[in-house]
Protein backbone atom coordinates (compact mmCIF):
# COMPACT_ATOMS: atom_id res chain seq x y z
CA UNK A 1 0.00 0.00 0.00
CA UNK A 2 1.42 3.33 -0.96
CA UNK A 3 0.43 6.26 1.15
CA UNK A 4 1.33 9.84 0.33
CA UNK A 5 -0.49 11.28 3.33
CA UNK A 6 2.03 11.49 6.15
CA UNK A 7 -0.65 11.58 8.86
CA UNK A 8 -2.37 8.32 7.80
CA UNK A 9 -2.98 5.94 9.56
CA UNK A 10 -2.45 7.99 12.75
CA UNK A 11 -5.25 10.22 11.57
CA UNK A 12 -8.40 8.48 10.41
CA UNK A 13 -11.39 10.78 10.03
CA UNK A 14 -13.67 7.74 10.06
CA UNK A 15 -12.69 6.85 13.64
CA UNK A 16 -15.21 9.24 15.22
CA UNK A 17 -17.94 8.13 12.77
CA UNK A 18 -17.61 4.44 13.52
CA UNK A 19 -20.46 4.11 16.03
CA UNK A 20 -23.72 5.78 16.92
CA UNK A 21 -22.64 6.98 20.35
CA UNK A 22 -19.55 8.58 18.86
CA UNK A 23 -21.46 10.30 16.07
CA UNK A 24 -23.81 11.67 18.74
CA UNK A 25 -20.89 12.85 20.85
CA UNK A 26 -19.17 14.60 17.96
CA UNK A 27 -22.27 16.21 16.39
CA UNK A 28 -21.50 19.92 15.97
CA UNK A 29 -25.10 21.05 15.53
CA UNK A 30 -28.45 19.97 16.91
CA UNK A 31 -32.05 20.54 15.97
CA UNK A 32 -34.47 20.98 18.86
CA UNK A 33 -38.25 21.47 18.78
CA UNK A 34 -37.72 24.92 20.30
CA UNK A 35 -35.73 25.94 17.20
CA UNK A 36 -38.91 25.75 15.15
CA UNK A 37 -41.62 28.22 14.21
CA UNK A 38 -44.72 26.65 12.63
CA UNK A 39 -46.62 28.76 10.05
CA UNK A 40 -50.41 28.26 10.14
CA UNK A 41 -53.19 29.52 7.86
CA UNK A 42 -56.44 30.73 9.37
CA UNK A 43 -59.77 30.96 7.53
CA UNK A 44 -63.40 31.92 8.29
CA UNK A 45 -65.98 29.54 9.68
CA UNK A 46 -66.04 27.06 12.49
CA UNK A 47 -64.71 23.53 12.81
CA UNK A 48 -63.02 23.83 9.43
CA UNK A 49 -59.92 22.15 8.09
CA UNK A 50 -59.43 23.00 4.43
CA UNK A 51 -56.56 21.22 2.60
CA UNK A 52 -54.41 23.29 0.21
CA UNK A 53 -53.86 21.40 -3.04
CA UNK A 54 -50.39 22.77 -3.82
CA UNK A 55 -49.27 22.26 -0.20
CA UNK A 56 -50.14 18.62 0.52
CA UNK A 57 -50.46 17.99 4.25
CA UNK A 58 -51.01 21.68 5.09
CA UNK A 59 -54.49 23.09 5.73
CA UNK A 60 -56.31 26.29 6.48
CA UNK A 61 -58.00 26.17 9.87
CA UNK A 62 -60.92 28.09 11.31
CA UNK A 63 -60.23 30.08 14.48
CA UNK A 64 -61.67 27.43 16.80
CA UNK A 65 -59.67 24.69 15.09
CA UNK A 66 -56.40 26.58 14.97
CA UNK A 67 -56.34 26.65 18.76
CA UNK A 68 -55.94 22.88 18.61
CA UNK A 69 -52.97 23.29 16.27
CA UNK A 70 -51.35 25.71 18.69
CA UNK A 71 -51.87 23.23 21.52
CA UNK A 72 -50.29 20.42 19.49
CA UNK A 73 -47.35 22.67 18.70
CA UNK A 74 -46.88 23.64 22.33
CA UNK A 75 -47.10 20.00 23.42
CA UNK A 76 -44.43 19.08 20.85
CA UNK A 77 -42.07 21.73 22.27
CA UNK A 78 -42.39 24.23 19.42
CA UNK A 79 -41.58 27.74 20.64
CA UNK A 80 -43.69 29.87 18.37
CA UNK A 81 -46.29 29.78 15.61
CA UNK A 82 -46.69 32.19 12.69
CA UNK A 83 -50.21 33.12 11.59
CA UNK A 84 -51.41 34.05 8.10
CA UNK A 85 -55.01 34.95 7.24
CA UNK A 86 -57.02 33.78 4.25
CA UNK A 87 -59.12 36.94 4.25
CA UNK A 88 -62.55 36.47 2.69
CA UNK A 89 -62.87 38.00 -0.78
CA UNK A 90 -65.42 40.69 0.13
CA UNK A 91 -63.10 42.06 2.81
CA UNK A 92 -60.22 42.68 0.41
CA UNK A 93 -59.87 46.17 -0.99
CA UNK A 94 -57.35 48.25 -2.91
CA UNK A 95 -56.02 49.76 0.34
CA UNK A 96 -56.17 46.57 2.42
CA UNK A 97 -57.98 48.36 5.24
CA UNK A 98 -59.22 45.07 6.72
CA UNK A 99 -55.71 44.85 8.20
CA UNK A 100 -56.84 47.57 10.65
CA UNK A 101 -60.04 45.86 11.78
CA UNK A 102 -59.58 44.82 15.43
CA UNK A 103 -61.94 41.91 14.78
CA UNK A 104 -60.29 40.65 11.60
CA UNK A 105 -59.44 36.99 11.20
CA UNK A 106 -55.88 37.46 12.46
CA UNK A 107 -56.87 39.27 15.63
CA UNK A 108 -59.59 36.73 16.43
CA UNK A 109 -57.10 33.89 15.94
CA UNK A 110 -54.45 35.61 18.07
CA UNK A 111 -56.91 36.21 20.91
CA UNK A 112 -58.31 32.68 20.79
CA UNK A 113 -54.82 31.15 20.92
CA UNK A 114 -53.63 33.50 23.68
CA UNK A 115 -56.72 32.59 25.73
CA UNK A 116 -56.24 28.82 25.45
CA UNK A 117 -52.50 28.33 24.86
CA UNK A 118 -50.85 31.34 26.48
CA UNK A 119 -47.39 29.77 26.65
CA UNK A 120 -46.63 29.65 22.92
CA UNK A 121 -45.24 32.63 21.01
CA UNK A 122 -47.25 34.17 18.18
CA UNK A 123 -45.53 35.79 15.20
CA UNK A 124 -47.57 37.88 12.78
CA UNK A 125 -46.69 39.20 9.32
CA UNK A 126 -47.04 42.90 8.67
CA UNK A 127 -47.75 43.41 4.96
CA UNK A 128 -50.94 44.04 3.05
CA UNK A 129 -51.02 41.16 0.56
CA UNK A 130 -53.59 39.00 2.39
CA UNK A 131 -55.90 42.05 2.51
CA UNK A 132 -55.53 43.75 -0.88
CA UNK A 133 -57.77 43.12 -3.89
CA UNK A 134 -54.67 43.23 -6.14
CA UNK A 135 -52.49 40.88 -4.09
CA UNK A 136 -49.58 43.33 -3.80
CA UNK A 137 -48.04 44.03 -0.39
CA UNK A 138 -48.67 47.78 -0.48
CA UNK A 139 -50.78 50.56 -1.95
CA UNK A 140 -50.52 50.85 -5.74
CA UNK A 141 -50.52 54.09 -7.76
CA UNK A 142 -52.16 54.76 -11.15
CA UNK A 143 -49.14 53.41 -13.02
CA UNK A 144 -49.05 50.21 -11.03
CA UNK A 145 -46.08 51.26 -8.87
CA UNK A 146 -46.17 49.89 -5.31
CA UNK A 147 -45.99 52.93 -3.04
CA UNK A 148 -43.38 52.94 -0.30
CA UNK A 149 -44.06 55.83 2.11
CA UNK A 150 -47.82 55.99 1.60
CA UNK A 151 -48.12 52.38 2.77
CA UNK A 152 -46.36 52.97 6.11
CA UNK A 153 -49.30 54.45 8.02
CA UNK A 154 -51.48 51.42 7.44
CA UNK A 155 -48.61 49.08 8.34
CA UNK A 156 -48.15 50.92 11.63
CA UNK A 157 -51.88 50.57 12.26
CA UNK A 158 -51.71 46.88 11.35
CA UNK A 159 -48.79 46.34 13.75
CA UNK A 160 -50.56 48.05 16.64
CA UNK A 161 -53.73 46.11 15.86
CA UNK A 162 -51.88 42.81 16.01
CA UNK A 163 -49.93 43.78 19.13
CA UNK A 164 -53.14 44.83 20.90
CA UNK A 165 -54.63 41.42 20.07
CA UNK A 166 -51.63 39.73 21.68
CA UNK A 167 -48.99 39.17 18.98
CA UNK A 168 -45.53 38.59 20.46
CA UNK A 169 -43.36 39.08 17.37
CA UNK A 170 -44.22 41.55 14.62
CA UNK A 171 -42.62 40.57 11.33
CA UNK A 172 -42.66 43.32 8.70
CA UNK A 173 -42.49 41.32 5.49
CA UNK A 174 -43.02 43.71 2.59
CA UNK A 175 -39.32 44.42 1.89
CA UNK A 176 -39.98 48.12 1.47
CA UNK A 177 -37.96 50.87 3.06
CA UNK A 178 -38.20 52.43 6.49
CA UNK A 179 -40.60 49.96 8.11
CA UNK A 180 -38.75 48.66 11.16
CA UNK A 181 -37.83 51.97 12.80
CA UNK A 182 -41.27 53.52 12.45
CA UNK A 183 -43.05 50.38 13.68
CA UNK A 184 -40.60 50.14 16.63
CA UNK A 185 -41.35 53.73 17.61
CA UNK A 186 -45.10 53.13 17.38
CA UNK A 187 -44.89 49.99 19.51
CA UNK A 188 -42.88 51.87 22.16
CA UNK A 189 -45.30 54.79 22.16
CA UNK A 190 -48.24 52.46 22.67
CA UNK A 191 -46.98 50.38 25.58
CA UNK A 192 -45.76 47.39 23.56
CA UNK A 193 -42.11 47.61 24.59
CA UNK A 194 -41.77 43.83 24.90
CA UNK A 195 -43.27 43.08 21.51
CA UNK A 196 -40.38 41.97 19.33
CA UNK A 197 -39.67 42.79 15.71
CA UNK A 198 -38.36 40.06 13.41
CA UNK A 199 -37.45 41.83 10.19
CA UNK A 200 -37.85 40.04 6.91
CA UNK A 201 -34.48 41.61 6.18
CA UNK A 202 -33.42 39.66 3.10
CA UNK A 203 -36.50 38.42 1.32
CA UNK A 204 -36.05 37.55 -2.32
CA UNK A 205 -38.47 37.87 -5.24
CA UNK A 206 -38.70 34.09 -5.40
CA UNK A 207 -40.51 31.49 -7.47
CA UNK A 208 -40.89 29.41 -4.30
CA UNK A 209 -43.87 31.35 -2.85
CA UNK A 210 -46.58 29.91 -5.13
CA UNK A 211 -48.29 27.53 -2.69
CA UNK A 212 -48.35 30.21 0.04
CA UNK A 213 -50.19 32.54 -2.33
CA UNK A 214 -52.71 29.74 -2.94
CA UNK A 215 -53.09 29.33 0.82
CA UNK A 216 -53.96 33.00 1.37
CA UNK A 217 -55.84 33.20 -1.97
CA UNK A 218 -53.67 35.98 -3.38
CA UNK A 219 -52.14 34.09 -6.32
CA UNK A 220 -55.11 34.58 -8.64
CA UNK A 221 -55.38 38.27 -7.69
CA UNK A 222 -51.74 39.14 -8.24
CA UNK A 223 -50.92 40.80 -11.52
CA UNK A 224 -47.25 41.07 -12.29
CA UNK A 225 -44.56 40.33 -9.73
CA UNK A 226 -42.94 41.78 -6.61
CA UNK A 227 -39.54 42.59 -8.13
CA UNK A 228 -39.69 46.32 -7.37
CA UNK A 229 -39.59 45.60 -3.65
CA UNK A 230 -38.39 42.04 -2.97
CA UNK A 231 -34.71 41.35 -3.65
CA UNK A 232 -33.07 40.11 -6.82
CA UNK A 233 -31.88 36.48 -6.34
CA UNK A 234 -28.61 37.57 -7.99
CA UNK A 235 -27.63 39.69 -5.00
CA UNK A 236 -25.78 38.94 -1.78
CA UNK A 237 -24.03 42.20 -0.80
CA UNK A 238 -27.37 43.95 -0.96
CA UNK A 239 -28.71 41.50 1.65
CA UNK A 240 -26.00 42.66 4.05
CA UNK A 241 -27.01 46.29 3.52
CA UNK A 242 -30.65 45.35 4.19
CA UNK A 243 -29.70 43.55 7.40
CA UNK A 244 -27.53 46.47 8.58
CA UNK A 245 -30.45 48.85 8.08
CA UNK A 246 -32.93 46.69 9.96
CA UNK A 247 -30.49 46.30 12.85
CA UNK A 248 -29.96 50.05 12.99
CA UNK A 249 -33.74 50.56 13.04
CA UNK A 250 -34.13 48.28 16.07
CA UNK A 251 -34.90 44.77 14.79
CA UNK A 252 -34.56 42.09 17.47
CA UNK A 253 -33.87 39.42 14.88
CA UNK A 254 -33.65 39.16 11.11
CA UNK A 255 -34.92 36.63 8.62
CA UNK A 256 -33.58 35.29 5.36
CA UNK A 257 -36.16 33.93 2.94
CA UNK A 258 -36.47 31.52 1.12
CA UNK A 259 -34.27 29.09 3.02
CA UNK A 260 -32.24 26.40 1.33
CA UNK A 261 -31.38 28.31 -1.87
CA UNK A 262 -30.04 31.13 0.33
CA UNK A 263 -27.88 29.34 2.92
CA UNK A 264 -24.94 31.42 1.69
CA UNK A 265 -26.80 34.57 2.73
CA UNK A 266 -27.50 33.18 6.21
CA UNK A 267 -23.84 32.35 6.64
CA UNK A 268 -22.72 35.76 5.40
CA UNK A 269 -25.11 37.56 7.76
CA UNK A 270 -23.91 35.46 10.71
CA UNK A 271 -20.30 36.23 9.92
CA UNK A 272 -20.90 39.96 9.61
CA UNK A 273 -23.40 40.70 12.39
CA UNK A 274 -24.17 39.67 15.94
CA UNK A 275 -27.92 39.27 15.66
CA UNK A 276 -30.15 36.18 15.77
CA UNK A 277 -30.94 35.01 12.22
CA UNK A 278 -33.98 32.99 11.23
CA UNK A 279 -34.62 31.16 7.96
CA UNK A 280 -38.02 30.74 6.36
CA UNK A 281 -38.14 27.39 4.59
CA UNK A 282 -40.98 28.52 2.34
CA UNK A 283 -44.00 26.84 0.83
CA UNK A 284 -42.33 25.88 -2.45
CA UNK A 285 -39.48 24.24 -0.56
CA UNK A 286 -41.96 22.25 1.52
CA UNK A 287 -43.81 21.23 -1.65
CA UNK A 288 -40.55 20.16 -3.27
CA UNK A 289 -39.74 17.80 -0.39
CA UNK A 290 -43.26 16.38 -0.39
CA UNK A 291 -43.13 15.86 -4.17
CA UNK A 292 -39.78 14.08 -3.88
CA UNK A 293 -41.09 11.83 -1.12
CA UNK A 294 -44.31 11.10 -3.05
CA UNK A 295 -42.41 9.66 -6.03
CA UNK A 296 -39.95 7.78 -3.88
CA UNK A 297 -37.02 10.02 -4.78
CA UNK A 298 -36.15 10.44 -1.12
CA UNK A 299 -37.30 9.45 2.33
CA UNK A 300 -39.52 12.10 3.79
CA UNK A 301 -38.42 12.16 7.45
CA UNK A 302 -34.75 12.13 6.50
CA UNK A 303 -35.18 14.90 3.93
CA UNK A 304 -37.04 17.03 6.47
CA UNK A 305 -34.49 16.62 9.25
CA UNK A 306 -31.47 17.06 6.98
CA UNK A 307 -32.75 20.31 5.52
CA UNK A 308 -33.69 21.71 8.93
CA UNK A 309 -30.32 20.79 10.39
CA UNK A 310 -28.63 22.53 7.44
CA UNK A 311 -30.12 25.81 8.66
CA UNK A 312 -28.63 25.29 12.10
CA UNK A 313 -25.25 24.50 10.56
CA UNK A 314 -25.45 27.67 8.48
CA UNK A 315 -25.91 29.65 11.69
CA UNK A 316 -29.65 30.01 12.21
CA UNK A 317 -31.16 30.54 15.63
CA UNK A 318 -34.41 29.08 14.35
CA UNK A 319 -36.39 28.07 11.30
CA UNK A 320 -39.92 28.73 10.08
CA UNK A 321 -41.09 25.54 8.41
CA UNK A 322 -44.37 23.89 7.44
CA UNK A 323 -42.72 20.65 8.55
CA UNK A 324 -42.24 22.03 12.08
CA UNK A 325 -44.79 19.88 13.91
CA UNK A 326 -43.74 16.73 12.07
CA UNK A 327 -40.06 17.46 12.70
CA UNK A 328 -40.60 18.33 16.37
CA UNK A 329 -42.31 15.00 16.90
CA UNK A 330 -39.53 13.15 15.10
CA UNK A 331 -36.81 14.62 17.32
CA UNK A 332 -38.74 14.72 20.59
Select from 43, 52, 106, 137 the one that contacts ligand PBG (CB under 6 A). 137
Q: Catalytic residue at 114?
A: no
Q: How far is the CB of 249 from ligand PBG (least distance, A)?
A: 18
Q: Which of 114, 226, 257, 312 is catalytic?
A: 257
Q: Residue 190 or residue 228: which is nearer to ligand PBG going by CB?
A: 228
- The pattern of x and - marking residues 222 through 251 that bind ligand PBG according to CB under 6 A reads ----x-------------------------
CA distances from 198 to 188, 214, 256 (A): 15, 24, 11
- Output the smallest distance, CB 173 to ligand PBG, in A: 4
The least CB distance from residue 60 to ligand PBG, in Å, is: 13
- Decide: 204 and 227 in contact? Cβ < 8 Å: no
Q: Does 314 bind ligand PBG (CB under 6 A)?
A: no
Which lies closer to ligand PBG via its Cβ, residue 33 or residue 284? Answer: 284
Using CB under 6 A as the binding rule, whether residue 283 contacts ligand PBG is answered as yes
Q: Considering the candidates 114, 203, 226, 312, report the single residue annotated as catalytic.
A: 203
Chain-centroid distance, C-alpha 25: 31
> Is 223 labeled as catalytic in the residue annotation?
no
Which range of residues in 28-36, 101-109, 209-217, 231-239 is near ligand PBG by CB under 6 A? 209-217
Which of these ranges, 21-29, 122-130, 141-149, 152-160, lies near ligand PBG under the rule CB under 6 A?
122-130
Cα dihedral 226, 231, 232, 233 in deg (nearest 10): -110
Q: Choose the binding region for ligand PBG from 103-111, 124-132, 156-164, 232-240 (rule: CB under 6 A).
A: 124-132
Question: Any bridge partners for residue 74, and if so which?
Answer: none
Q: List binders of ligand PBG among 246-275 (CB under 6 A).
A: none
Note every long-range contact of 148-156, with CB atoms under 8 Å and residues 24 or more positions apart, other chains counting: 148/176, 148/177, 148/178, 148/229, 149/178, 151/176, 152/178, 152/179, 152/182, 154/95, 154/96, 154/97, 154/99, 154/100, 154/128, 155/126, 155/127, 155/128, 155/179, 155/183, 156/182, 156/183, 156/186
Among 40, 69, 107, 127, binds ligand PBG (CB under 6 A): 127
Q: In sequence order, which ranges of the chain are alpha helices (DSSP H)?
A: 20-26, 63-75, 105-116, 152-165, 179-189, 210-215, 237-248, 263-272, 283-294, 300-314, 324-331
Nearer to ligand PBG (CB atom), residue 12 or residue 217: 217
Q: Which is nearer to ligand PBG, 75 or 233 (CB)?
A: 233
Nearest to 221 by CA among 138, 155, 136, 140: 136
Q: Residue 182 to residues 149, 185, 197: CA-CA distances in angstroms?
A: 11, 5, 11
Q: How many residues bind ligand PBG (CB under 6 A)?
A: 12
| Pairwise CA distance, residues 85 & 129, whole Å | 10
User: In the complex with ligand PBG, which residue's Cβ is closer, 67 or 322?
Assistant: 322
Residue of 98, 125, 214, 246 that binds ligand PBG (CB under 6 A): 125
Contacts 24+ apart (CB under 8 A), 60-66: 60/86, 60/215, 63/105, 63/108, 63/109, 63/112, 64/112, 66/40, 66/42, 66/109, 66/112, 66/113
Report the residue closest to ligand PBG, judged by CB: 212
* Per-position x/- string for 149-188, each x denoting binding to ligand PBG as judged by CB under 6 A, each - no binding: ------------------------xx--------------
Residues that bind ligand PBG (CB under 6 A): 125, 127, 129, 137, 173-174, 209, 212-213, 226, 282-283
Q: Catalytic residue numbers?
A: 203, 257
Amino acid sequence: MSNHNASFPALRMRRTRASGWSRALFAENHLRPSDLIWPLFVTEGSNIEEPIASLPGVSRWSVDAIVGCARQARDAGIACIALFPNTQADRRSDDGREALNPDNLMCRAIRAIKDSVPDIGILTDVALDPYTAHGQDGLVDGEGYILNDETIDILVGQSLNQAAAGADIIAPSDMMDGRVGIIRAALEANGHQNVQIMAYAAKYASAFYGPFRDAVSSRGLLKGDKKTYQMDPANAEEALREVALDISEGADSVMVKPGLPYLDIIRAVKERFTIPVFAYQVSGEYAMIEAAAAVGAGERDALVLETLLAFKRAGCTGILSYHALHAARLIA
